[in-house]
Structure 1
Amino acid sequence: METSEIRRRFLQYFEDRGHTVVPSAPLPSPDPNLLFNVAGMAQFVPYFVGQQTPPYSRATSVQKCVRTLDIEEVGKTTRHGTFFQMNGNFSFGDYFKDKAIEYAWDLVTKPQSEGGYGFDESVLYASVYYEDDEAIELWKRIAGLPDDRIVRLGMKDNFWSMGVPGPCGPCSEILIDRGPEFGADRDWEAGDRYLEFWNLVFMQNIRGEGGGKEGYPILGELPKKNIDTGLGLERVAYLLQGVDNMYEIDEIYPVIERASELSGRKYGVDHVDDVRFRVVADHVRSALMLIGDGVTPGNEQGGYVLRRLLRRAIRSMRLLGYEDPSLVELLPVSLEQMKKSYPELEPDFGRIGQVAYAEEDAFRRTLTAGTSIFDVAVRDTKAADGVELAGAKAFQLHDTYGFPIDLTVEMAAEQGLQVDTAGFKSLMTEQRERAKADARAKKAGHADTSGYRELREKGVTEFTGYQELATDSQVRGVLRQGAIATAAEPGETVEVVLEKTPFYAESGGQIADEGLIVADGVKLQVLDVQRPVKGLIVHRVKVVEGVVQPGLDVHAEVDHEWRVEACQAHSGTHVVHAALRQVLGPNALQSGSYNKPGYLRLDFAWSSSLDQTTRSEIEEVANLAVRKDLPVSAQYMTLPEAREWGALALFGETYDESVRVVEIGGPWSRELCGGTHVKRSSQVGALTLTSESSVGAGVRRLEAFVGMEALRYLGRERALVRLLSENLKARPEELPAKVADLAERLRTAEKELERLRAGQVLAAAAELAASPKDVFGVSYVGHRAPDGVNGGDLRKLALDIRGRMVADKPAVITVLSVNDGKPAVVVALNDTAREWRLKAGDLVRVAAEKVGGRGGGKDDVAQGGGTDPAGADEALAAVEHSIGQLVTG
């Protein structure tokens, strides 16, 4: 049975039994404490913890998940995968243990001809929490399981919680006995014999403080008991498809087959190669799904995870012997399998491939640069008679060039060296701790929302801002630091919830409205507007006059100019997006946006920079659309209807079943959007693009001004052109040639100055070579050159002096200069000095240490630098002292 069919049957089964089919939430998690959704119940957390009221009592979904903790283990075992799918059915205060067990057992054992999975009942077991006698009796009654096929396990294995105080409850799992070839009889924890594939969580208790998976106190029972189940789709697939592990199921194995064809290596012959094949297949699929949900490669957060997955896949193909670009061969294979369950991937594949292939091109260039750094590190290590590459160097290769540590280890082994992996891990730990500290500082996830929930229970905040900018309303509640307050006085900054409001809450890239909320003797300045709980609009206000308290009748009014310019910017964003797609094609899809009065920023999928001609064409298409005075309208429809209508959705956003579609000029621009807009396109006013830049592999950014801000920008540009024309005594159209001529003349003058300065520096060589200092038989020249001499000229000076020294007497030359406040030092030795076992690399490190830096190089010439010019003279003396110690020691 194909994986897509297993998925379809699951959803159909529960839909037929009154469950609302809920689409998977996007992979990026809205919780700031998580990068990605890692469980089927992720999007239902607000319902389980009481932050929101569920719109249905029963639900079912297949949630896309990404697990990042086990990336290094992928391929080494048959259990670890990065992307996976979790089938689930959920009850919010509706049915409980009996129905959950009944549904699960029925679907699992029902014959395939009748829509079930057709598992043989004789090899199925159930595990339960050891104190849950109720579940044991239900398994006996509903499934007919005897006592010897019901396993009691402790809290560690069969009790669920979120790891923090809140909802929790016992679990019950369905396991399958795969036979003695997979492990010992009745061994529930070791091996793969008794494989759990469906976990039923009976959420009935409240837990207290405590760490770990067990030992925390159970404080009582929930007022409403819930069901949360998770059936591992990939696990069921390999059980039903008769293969040994998830890498060999229909959604993954074709990538292994293609990788085998490309590399000429066979899967199933060599364990090391098998691991690499599995890494490729897993990571290619994971990357496909992540990019499909709007994640782009980068150096932080989810972008870093995606980059790491792509680079590990590329590297694994290289280790399999395939040196050519591989993603262009493998990604389409994964698409063919995954589009059966996720058809939206196919029309978006142009963009997905563009992002992935651009990252591969960048990594291939990075490998070239990083390999050069690696080669230098190896040479320096061997020159110092070392056998171990420094952990700091391995970390640099990882952090700067994207080299996985195991790649560095393998490359070092080929050179007969080991790697200081302990030092590397220490630096990685430091980096992770810094990242965790930063994440903790930004944390806002499951903070106390009880005050918001209490106000939300009184009803949804009505938003009137689409129709009007001023609304008479009433204060529903006042909050101070998230807690309900009775009142707030002048000077305080608090949060206020109104019964209805015209103020737009920040979302969809549009920042919040500004304005005033007033009443008799009361004046509140609106600073920000947010939706901390779905359905509740919260205004952060500064109390300017009077006392604000619940029940107060108020007049809420948005700053008119603010809203007009905000509408211009948001509609302008849609216009630019449509212009982009018209000029560049349908793959130039928006991947993020930000707009505020007069300004817009739009990120879009594209792998190369836009030349001036293309930028001008986009700007012209956008302004022509503005001039055409196209109608702008908004209407509500179901999400499937919107997609069928061709409306574009923003990556990573979670949409309700009913969505708002904003249309500009009919099909020319149709996007899902909750923002505020102009009535006709001409109201956007002037639109001028100000910059285009890269924000990551395969993602570009356009910035623009609209309306009066665009005119002000053009006015500043015109004033600048006038000023340049006056100063250069040239007409505006002559300025490019005039500036180019001046730049060329400046470059010529700089080259001449460089030549003269180098000549002046080198002129001192003869004099310095003629009067060296004798240091225990070594001729030593320690010279501080004038400030401003660069490293290249210092090196020339040191070599020139060395060339003028007596060849049969050991000579050491140290020259130093301070350039832009930073010292640079070069040490050069002749052959005789090297025969005395002196090394330039050792001596330059002595000098560099005195100026707060580091250095290195070959035995005959080495170079270094630092940050402390005050130590320059001491550095020259330190080299002299070190020579004496080495020669006499």
Structure 2
Amino acid sequence: METAEIRRRWLKFFEDNDHVVVPSAPLIYDDPNLLFVNAGMVPMKPYMLGQQTPPWPRATSVQKCVRTGDIEEVGKTSRHGTFFQMNGNFSFGDYFKERAIELAWGLVTTPIADGGYGLDPERVWPTVYEDDDEAYAIWHEKIGIPVERMTRRGKEDNYWNMGVPGPGGPCSELFYDRGAQYGAEGGPAVDEDRYMEFWNLVFMQDDLSQVRSKADFDIAGPLPAKNIDTGMGLERMATLLQGKDNLYEIDEVFPVLAKAAEMTGRKYGEKSGQAAGQSHPDDVHLRVVADHVRSSLMLIGDGVTPGNEGRGYVLRRMLRRAVRAMRLLGYEDKALPELLPVSMDRMKASYPELEIDFPRISQIAYGEEDAFRRTLGAGTVILDTAVTKAKQSAASTGGGQATLAGEQAFQLHDTYGFPIDLTLEMAAEQGVQVDEPGFRRLMQEQRDRAKADAKSKKAGHAHTEVWRELRALGATDWLAYQGLSADAKITGIVVDGVQVPELRPGQTGQVVLDRTTFYAESGGQIADSGVIAGPYGELPVRDVQRPVKGLVVHTVEAGEHGLTVGDAVEAKVDPEWRVSACQAHSGTHVVHAALRQVLGPSALQSGSYNKPGYLRLDFAWNSGLSAATRSEIEEVSNLAVRQDLPVSAQFMTLPEAREWGALALFGETYDEQVRVVEIGGPWSRELCGGTHVAHSSQIGALTLTGEGSVGSGVRRVEALVGMEALRYLAKERMLVAELSGMVGAQPGELRDKVDALLGRVKDAEREIARLKQEQVQAEAASLVEQAQDICAVKVLTHHAGDLPADQVRSLVLSLRARLGDASGSVVAVTGVNAGRPVVVIATNQSARDRGIQAGALVKQAASVLGGGGGGKPDVAQGGGQDPSKVDEALSAVACAIRQTLD
């Protein structure tokens, strides 16, 4: 049974049993404690915590998840993976243990022909929490599981909590006996390879007051409403139903592995001679490729782009690990264009949007592979320099094997993205070992810092309690779409995370109103500016946020006057601020539509930011935009403004919006009811909660001010609108007038005049360069006489002063020709251009026959200069950072020649 069919049967079974089918939330989720959704219940957490009222009594979903804590273990065993899918069914104060157990048992044991999974009932082994007699009795007496197939377990295995105060409860896990070929008999307590866990039923019944660890917590009492949260691993069930050994062999994963094996000429799973429990390196690399390609596909599909921190860094790391694994398997060509389409073809049955969006997804992934290939080139130069220095250090201290410091290996990994296994491999090729323990120590310190940061963020979760308490008093009546001011009452004040009865003069705190017209920051639009007018004066509002759904919180500065809970106030948004903010947000939609019109539908927005008068928009694209393309985008945008297109907004269900063709912003989480903003009908139709103008003409002028790269496959455009755009254009007009005056031309003649001036400057530079080259060549005859004899080899070293690299190279080749081929000869010349030294070395055939290689000599010289280099045995070039050491570098060349010839 294919994975997509297992998924379909799950949703149909629970829908037939009165569960509402809830679509998977994006992997990027609005939770400060998480990089990605890492469990099926994450989107349901607000209902579990009591922050929101669940809209349905029972629900079911197949949730996309990513876990990256064990990313370095991926492939080493058949268990670890990053992307997975969790099938869940949830009850919010509706059914509890007995019904949850009945449903689970019914689905897994119902024959395949009748819509179930058809597992053999005699091979299912439930476990229950050690004190949960109720669940034990249900399994034994209601379902009929014999006691010899049931196991009681402690808190570590069979009690669930979130790691923070809140709901928790005992679990009942289901295991399946895969047979004697997988291990010893005796149940899950004996062998969890043979007995594979595939489903966990969590019975949320306790309110936890303190959670010190997974097995150390305090129970304050029972929850007011008992909930069910169950999760069945989709990949686990596919492994069982497809008769495979592990998740890497199921239908959604193995085709990528097989393609990688075909490309590299390797065989999967046919290696012998490995120690027990260890995988062959080829198998490890193939699993890494299969897992990371699929995970990257899903992450990019949900709006993640490669970057140097956070989610982007995780994606970048997985893409580069996949490319690196292919390299270790002997494949050095571009790999992702062959592998990513295979993964998409397998995943599109469950996620058809992947096929629709594949042009954007592939553009980003292929761009990152190209960038990594360039990184490998640059990292190789840096590594070569470090290796040379390590050799020199070992030689100067009296021998011993040269060692590359752990700090250098870590810098290569952390700063340049150079994998440690590549560092180890390339250093070993040059006879240098790496301080791997030092590298691992630094890596662990980095992980510890990350964990400490995550822990501090997680601890901050408790601070939301104050907002949950205020939310329980009632939702904020949000009137931002209706007007700019509203009479309101203060329902709560928070200072330093604590509720207080008043905001005293001089304090800054958060104020909650029963109704407000202030826009809370979201969807790329910053919060409104304005004041809260109280009984004793107006207090500036500095920020507006939504800490929990339904609650709008105003950060207020109290000057001479304060506020008190219960005060009647007026929420007043700054009209100029709102007008400019509306212009910017509507302008963002206009530019997005213009990009898609000019570049094509794959130029999809991946992020935005707008504030009064300014907007920026990130979109999927691999190359820079020409001046003509930027001009066309700007013209299309301004034509839309001039056409006075109507701007409208309406609410509908998410499926209706998608059917209507509305575009969603990647990474955003949407409710079932969404707001769709149109500009000119279908020309621009997006899901958006921001504030907008009523007609496109109200945007005013729109001018693009910048365009550039912000990551692999992602570009950014910036623009100004309204008065800010006019001010920008006025400054440009003034600049043109000033330049016209300086060169004595009319504005319309300015370009031709500047072109002519630049042409004259370039002609003069070329003439200067020609004269300088002639001077250098004229000196070549006298330089030849300066050659010294080292063991019957003519060695000419010379510093040419302020000379660019191409002229240094020309001089070196001329000098080598003048020295002739009768005996061995070596020419080494340095120059300095724009403050950076360059060194070029050439050898003739006789010198090479005696073991003198230009490439090796350049590495020696460039390392002295603080850089690196390389080339062929006959001609090589390098550079560095320190021009004061050119003489020392030339001396190092002569010394290296003596050592070679002695």
CA distance in 2, matches of 1:365, 1:768: 39
Q: Give yes or no for contact 2:381–2:868 (8 Å, CA) kept in 1.
A: no
Superposition deviation, residue 349 in structure 1 = 1.3
- Other-structure match for 2:740: 725
Q: Give yes or no for contact 2:29–2:668 (8 Å, CA) kept in 1.
A: no
Amino acid at match of 1:223: P
CA distance in 2, matches of 1:842, 1:236: 56
Q: Give yes or no for contact 1:844–1:862 (8 Å, CA) kept in 2.
A: no
CA distance in 1, matches of 2:862, 2:377: 28
Q: Give yes or no for contact 1:450–1:483 (8 Å, CA) kept in 2.
A: no
CA distance in 2, matches of 1:404, 1:128: 44
How many equivalent pairs are there? 877
CA distance in 2, matches of 1:68, 1:93: 33
Structure 1 SS opposite 2:538? strand
**Structure 1 residue 555 corresponds to structure 2 residue 570:** yes
- Per the normalisation by structure 1, the TM-score is 0.86
Structure 2 SS opposite 1:536? coil
**Structure 1 residue 487 corresponds to structure 2 residue 502:** yes
Amino acid at match of 1:480: V
Superposition deviation, residue 184 in structure 1 = 0.9
Amino acid at match of 1:225: K
Structure 1 SS opposite 2:422? helix
CA distance in 1, matches of 2:863, 2:366: 46
- Other-structure match for 1:308: 317
Residue deviations 1:214-242 (CA, integer Å, cap 9, x gap):
24444443333222111000000110111
In the superposition, relative to structure 1, how do residues 89 and 731 fare at CA in structure 2: closer, same or farther (>3 Å)?
Answer: same
Structure 2 SS opposite 1:471? strand
Written as runs of structure 1 = structure 2, the 5 A alignment for 1:395-406 is: 395-406=410-421
CA distance in 1, matches of 2:835, 2:662: 57
Single out whichever of 136-145 and 601-610 deviates more from structure 2: 136-145
Written as runs of structure 1 = structure 2, the 5 A alignment for 1:121-270 is: 121-186=121-186, 188=189, 190-207=191-208, 209=210, 211-270=212-271
Q: Give yes or no for contact 2:128–2:170 (8 Å, CA) kept in 1.
A: yes
Residue deviations 1:634-664 (CA, integer Å, cap 9, x gap):
0111000000000000001110001000011
Amino acid at match of 1:27: L
Structure 1 SS opposite 2:252? coil
Structure 1 segments (4+ residues) deviating >6 Å? 437-444, 748-771, 783-786, 788-801, 814-828, 839-848, 853-858, 861-867
CA distance in 2, matches of 1:590, 1:822: 41
Structure 1 SS opposite 2:340? helix
User: What is the root-mean-square deviation of aligned Cα atoms in Å?
Assistant: 4.7
- Other-structure match for 2:667: 652
Q: Give yes or no for contact 2:36–2:66 (8 Å, CA) kept in 1.
A: yes
CA distance in 1, matches of 2:2, 2:304: 27
- Other-structure match for 1:422: 437
Superposition deviation, residue 207 in structure 1 = 3.9
Superposition deviation, residue 555 in structure 1 = 1.7
In the superposition, relative to structure 1, how do residues 222 and 755 fare at CA in structure 2: closer, same or farther (>3 Å)?
Answer: farther
Structure 2 SS opposite 1:473? strand
Superposition deviation, residue 576 in structure 1 = 0.6
- Other-structure match for 1:408: 423
Unaligned runs of 5+ in 1: 772-782, 802-813
Written as runs of structure 1 = structure 2, the 5 A alignment for 1:67-146 is: 67-146=67-146
Superposition deviation, residue 587 in structure 1 = 0.5
Superposition deviation, residue 262 in structure 1 = 3.4
Residue deviations 1:149-181 (CA, integer Å, cap 9, x gap):
111122211122222333322211011111111
CA distance in 2, matches of 1:646, 1:724: 48
Structure 1 SS opposite 2:563? coil
- Other-structure match for 2:681: 666
In the superposition, relative to structure 1, how do residues 70 and 284 fare at CA in structure 2: closer, same or farther (>3 Å)?
Answer: same
CA distance in 1, matches of 2:567, 2:776: 81
Written as runs of structure 1 = structure 2, the 5 A alignment for 1:571-720 is: 571-720=586-735
- Other-structure match for 2:275: none
Q: Give yes or no for contact 1:825–1:847 (8 Å, CA) kept in 2.
A: no
Single out whichever of 275-284 and 625-634 deviates more from structure 2: 275-284
Written as runs of structure 1 = structure 2, the 5 A alignment for 1:237-636 is: 237-270=238-271, 271-374=280-383, 386=401, 388-413=403-428, 418-432=433-447, 446-636=461-651
Structure 1 SS opposite 2:552? strand
Single out whichever of 737-746 and 422-431 deviates more from structure 2: 737-746
CA distance in 2, matches of 1:439, 1:123: 40
In the superposition, relative to structure 1, how do residues 496 and 116 fare at CA in structure 2: closer, same or farther (>3 Å)?
Answer: same
Q: Give yes or no for contact 1:517–1:556 (8 Å, CA) kept in 2.
A: yes
In the superposition, relative to structure 1, how do residues 52 and 749 fare at CA in structure 2: closer, same or farther (>3 Å)?
Answer: farther
Amino acid at match of 2:582: C
- Other-structure match for 2:824: none
CA distance in 1, matches of 2:717, 2:519: 25
Residue deviations 1:779-834 (CA, integer Å, cap 9, x gap):
xxxx9999x99999999999999xxxxxxxxxxxx999999999999999xx9xx9
Superposition deviation, residue 518 in structure 1 = 1.0
CA distance in 2, matches of 1:452, 1:338: 40
CA distance in 1, matches of 2:358, 2:737: 48
Q: Give yes or no for contact 1:648–1:671 (8 Å, CA) kept in 2.
A: yes
In the superposition, relative to structure 1, how do residues 266 and 866 fare at CA in structure 2: closer, same or farther (>3 Å)?
Answer: closer
In the superposition, relative to structure 1, how do residues 843 and 321 fare at CA in structure 2: closer, same or farther (>3 Å)?
Answer: closer
CA distance in 1, matches of 2:72, 2:703: 47
Residue deviations 1:174-203 (CA, integer Å, cap 9, x gap):
111111111111162545111110011122
CA distance in 2, matches of 1:729, 1:55: 72
CA distance in 1, matches of 2:236, 2:15: 22
Superposition deviation, residue 469 in structure 1 = 1.1
CA distance in 1, matches of 2:626, 2:840: 43
CA distance in 1, matches of 2:731, 2:841: 52
**Structure 1 residue 32 corresponds to structure 2 residue 32:** yes
Superposition deviation, residue 462 in structure 1 = 1.3
Unaligned runs of 5+ in 2: 272-279, 787-797, 816-827
In the superposition, relative to structure 1, how do residues 798 and 617 fare at CA in structure 2: closer, same or farther (>3 Å)?
Answer: closer
Q: Give yes or no for contact 2:839–2:858 (8 Å, CA) kept in 1.
A: no
CA distance in 1, matches of 2:296, 2:696: 38
- Other-structure match for 1:804: none
Residue deviations 1:309-360 (CA, integer Å, cap 9, x gap):
2222223334444443332222222222211111222211111111112222
CA distance in 1, matches of 2:741, 2:148: 96
Single out whichever of 498-507 and 452-461 deviates more from structure 2: 452-461
CA distance in 2, matches of 1:245, 1:678: 55
Superposition deviation, residue 55 in structure 1 = 2.5
Q: Give yes or no for contact 2:493–2:512 (8 Å, CA) kept in 1.
A: yes
In the superposition, relative to structure 1, how do residues 461 and 189 fare at CA in structure 2: closer, same or farther (>3 Å)?
Answer: farther
In the superposition, relative to structure 1, how do residues 579 and 747 fare at CA in structure 2: closer, same or farther (>3 Å)?
Answer: same
Q: Give yes or no for contact 2:530–2:541 (8 Å, CA) kept in 1.
A: yes
CA distance in 1, matches of 2:878, 2:426: 26
In the superposition, relative to structure 1, how do residues 445 and 13 fare at CA in structure 2: closer, same or farther (>3 Å)?
Answer: farther
Amino acid at match of 2:254: Y
In the superposition, relative to structure 1, how do residues 755 and 69 fare at CA in structure 2: closer, same or farther (>3 Å)?
Answer: farther
**Structure 1 residue 8 corresponds to structure 2 residue 17:** no
CA distance in 2, matches of 1:117, 1:199: 16
CA distance in 2, matches of 1:582, 1:212: 54
Superposition deviation, residue 745 in structure 1 = 5.0
In the superposition, relative to structure 1, how do residues 209 and 784 fare at CA in structure 2: closer, same or farther (>3 Å)?
Answer: farther
In the superposition, relative to structure 1, how do residues 626 and 210 fare at CA in structure 2: closer, same or farther (>3 Å)?
Answer: closer
Amino acid at match of 2:260: A
Q: Give yes or no for contact 1:169–1:204 (8 Å, CA) kept in 2.
A: yes
CA distance in 1, matches of 2:753, 2:265: 59
CA distance in 2, matches of 1:189, 1:749: 85
- Other-structure match for 2:819: none
Q: Give yes or no for contact 2:542–2:555 (8 Å, CA) kept in 1.
A: yes
CA distance in 2, matches of 1:219, 1:767: 94
Q: Give yes or no for contact 1:452–1:533 (8 Å, CA) kept in 2.
A: yes
